[in-house]
Structures are given as C-alpha cells and as structure tokens.
Amino acid sequence: MNENPKVFISYTHDSREHADKILSFSNSLRSEGIDTILDQYETSPSEGWPRWMDRQVRNADFVLMVCTPTYFRRVMGEEKEGVGLGGIWEGNLIYQHLYNNGMVNNNFIPILFDGYSYNDIPTPLQGATHYYVDVEANFDKLYWRLRNINPTERPALGKLRPLPEKERKSLFISSFIDIEKWDRAKWSGIAFILDPSYTEPPRLVLLFKSEKEAKEIFEEWISRIGRCDSEGAIRISIVEGDVPNEDAGYYVHIGTNIESAIERAKKQELDIHDNLFLVVSRFHRMNPLPESRNLENFKLMYEKFGSYFIMPSVIDESLTKFKYLGDEFKMLKKGIIFRNVDEIFSEHDEDAVLLPKYRKS
C-alpha cells in the first residue's frame, strides 16, 4: 500500500490521561504517514456524532480498537444504561460489519497499552492478532500491518539435499532427565505465576511431591547450564488439542533440545556427525477447568517478554497446597514451543511420544 491508509481509532473516554495517550499515539502514526481519524481532531461534525462514526468505520482501511475494561463493557453491551453511548454505538457498528462479512475480519485490529490485558479485548476479536503498542517493536509491527507490507520477505526455494549414504552410526546419549530421580520426585504437573503489574517475565512452576529430589533436579540443571538457558538446552513444549480417551487439556513435555546438544558436543570436540541420538523426556497431561485462562495469559506475557522463569515447587498429596522453594532454584529460559497435536504427523516428531498411536509398547 503506497497510499496513506485511512485508520479510524475507536476508544472510550476512560480518563483525561487515557485520552491524551491515545492522542499522542495517533499523532505518532500520522507523523509516519498513517492517516488516522480521531474524534479529538473534530469539534462538532455537521452530520452529528453517530453518523460521523458510522462514516469513519465504513470508509476506513482499518479500525484500531483501544481495548480497556471500559471499552470491553461497552462493546459487549454490559455497561450501565445511559452510560458511554458513543462507545456502545461504535461497538454495535463493529459487530454489524463483522456480521455482514460472515465473521471474516480483515479490518478490525485490537491494540493494548501497558496496564491492560488480553481479557480486555471484546470476545469476537480475541482470536485476532493484537498489539501492545507501548513496546516499540510491536508499534513497528502494527505500522507495517497498516501499510499492508510484510517486512520479512520469503526467500526463493533452494534445491533439496540429496539423501546421504547409509552408514553405520554410533549412539550419542544426551538428557536432562535423570529417570530414577524423576521417579522419586513424582512430578505432578505445572502451575503458572503471572505478575499482574507486567514488570517481570511469567513463571512456569514444575510441581513435585518430593522436595529433596525437586531441589536436586534444579541444582543439577543450574550446574550444567547456569541460571539462564539462553540457548534452549532444555526443550519444553506445550501441546494443545483433543486426544482420544483423554480429558480435555494439554500436554507439557520436557526433554533435551537436540540441536543444542549437538552444539554443546561440538564445543567439547566430540565427533558426532554420524551419530544417533538417544534422549529421555517426561510429559504430563494437564486438565484445567474449561473457564481457566492461565495458559493463554502465560502465552501473552511470554510474547511480551520473550522469556520466562522455570522453578520447582512442592505440592502435597491432595494437590492443593504448594511449598515455595526459593529463588535460588529459579532459571530464566528464552524458548518454549506452543503447538497442537494435529501438527504431529510422524513417529519421528520430538513430541510424538505424547500420542498413544506412536508410543512403543
């Protein structure tokens, strides 16, 4: 899109400070060629505010929805009668346009400022890509989206590698899972700790029943990797989706990152070019309540920070009481894999062990 895109900004007048922040945001977009339309640029449109809003929504290339709890209530029709009529009117317009398009959304984009969360996005738009625009990188992503430009070009396909000749291979064993120790530790699942102030990365807590082994597992990991697993030596995946004969939920799979293991072996000058790898992993099926949004909120905070902490905790036999083991066992991680069971097509997939049809008897 070489022309200046027209962008209508939909929001609620939560406070003077909130309105000032939106004005500054709009001015920033306009300074870079985005033709933003904002009610603060108008005094009293001749056709009246309702028709003015209708015209702006219809004529805009994109509509930015500034999501807050107040905006959510008014768009969702949950506001007190007679309060926030402008926001309610805009919400009805947005609903109608989505309905007319068969719920196909190409124009309505939720945005969030610091202090607001995914839960403030109106329900019909929660599946759309949203942006925390106070973060410069996210502001840039939104800018190029409004320009209909993908800054990452798709390279041309190269030639496929020829199949290597089959040779006898040796076995290279690499694992962060001590089988006997994990058996004694009795891993029982995970929990999420999320900072409501959004000032530090989220925490993924591994819940064990034995304190002694839980501490030993993390002491060994810290000894081998350090307090920051920046290279993703430990592989953690969260795999969602329905599985036959399993209750609704998701798997948590913990093991070794094979690519990272290869790099570590090379640094130790081990010749592993033609070796086979044997890795040991553990997985657990989590069955949260249907209304739980803990995993979704963890994803949002991980997206914001690009990292998270892993740490152990002890849970009692009733699975209700936790014991915090202290920050001395906390590790910062830079990578996690989110995927669905429908993406596992082969027994050679690293997460294939999660599906009964690929498990060895």
46 burial level (CB within 10 Å; 0-12, 13-18, 19+) = exposed
Q: Strand pairing partners for 192?
A: 204
Banded model confidence at residue 163, pLDDT cuts 50, 70, 90: confident
- Token pair, residue 73, equals 């209530």
pLDDT tens-place string over residues 101-153: 656 577 889 999 999 999 999 888 888 899 999 999 999 999 999 998 888 88
* Residue 89 in this model has a pLDDT that exceeds 70: no
CB 65 within 8 A of CB 8: no
CB 203 within 8 A of CB 313: no
What is the predicted pLDDT for the residue at 56?
A: 87
Output DSSP code: residue 150.
-
Q: Concatenate the DSSP letters of all residues of 194-258 into one string.
A: --TT--S--EEEEEES-HHHHHHHHHHHHHHH-SEETT--EEEEEEES--TTS-S-EEEEEEE-H
Output DSSP code: residue 358.
G
Say how far residue 27 (Cα) sits from the centre of its chain: 29
Separation CA 189–CA 295 (nearest Å): 13
Average pLDDT over every residue of 57-66: 90
* Residue 8 in this model has a pLDDT that exceeds 90: yes
What is the predicted pLDDT for the residue at 173?
A: 52
Q: Which segment of 29-38, 160-169, 177-186, 330-339 scores lowest on mean pLDDT?
A: 160-169
CB atoms within 10 A of CB 70: 19
* Residue 245 in this model has a pLDDT that exceeds 90: no
Q: Strand pairing partners for 40?
A: none
Instruction: Map out the domains of the chain as residue ranges.
Output: 6-146, 171-358
CB 204 within 8 A of CB 310: yes
Separation CA 85–CA 82 (nearest Å): 6
Q: What is the average pLDDT value for the chain, to the nearest integer?
A: 86
Banded model confidence at residue 82, pLDDT cuts 50, 70, 90: low
CB 272 within 8 A of CB 266: yes
What is the predicted pLDDT for the residue at 293?
A: 94
Distances (CA, A) of 34 to 29, 67, 109, 140: 5, 20, 15, 12
pLDDT tens-place string over residues 282-315: 999 999 999 999 999 999 999 999 999 999 999 9
> What torsion, rounded to 10 degrees, do the Cα atoms 322, 327, 333, 334 define?
120
> What torsion, rounded to 10 degrees, do the Cα atoms 134, 139, 141, 144 define?
170
Distances (CA, A) of 203 to 187, 232, 250, 307, 311: 17, 16, 18, 9, 7
Say how far residue 304 (Cα) sits from the centre of its chain: 8
Separation CA 74–CA 67 (nearest Å): 11
Determine the Cα angle at 169 with ends 168 and 175, to 5°: 165
Distances (CA, A) of 134 to 94, 146, 331: 24, 17, 27
Separation CA 177–CA 58 (nearest Å): 57
If one looks up domain 6-146 in CATH, what number appears? 3.40.50.10140
Banded model confidence at residue 277, pLDDT cuts 50, 70, 90: low
Average pLDDT over every residue of 85-105: 66
Identify the three-state secondary structure at position 315.
Answer: strand
The owner of tokens 């070009």 is 153
Banded model confidence at residue 276, pLDDT cuts 50, 70, 90: low
What is the predicted pLDDT for the residue at 169?
A: 54
What is the predicted pLDDT for the residue at 101?
A: 66
Separation CA 23–CA 29 (nearest Å): 10
Identify the three-state secondary structure at position 72.
Answer: helix
- Token pair, residue 169, equals 């291979």
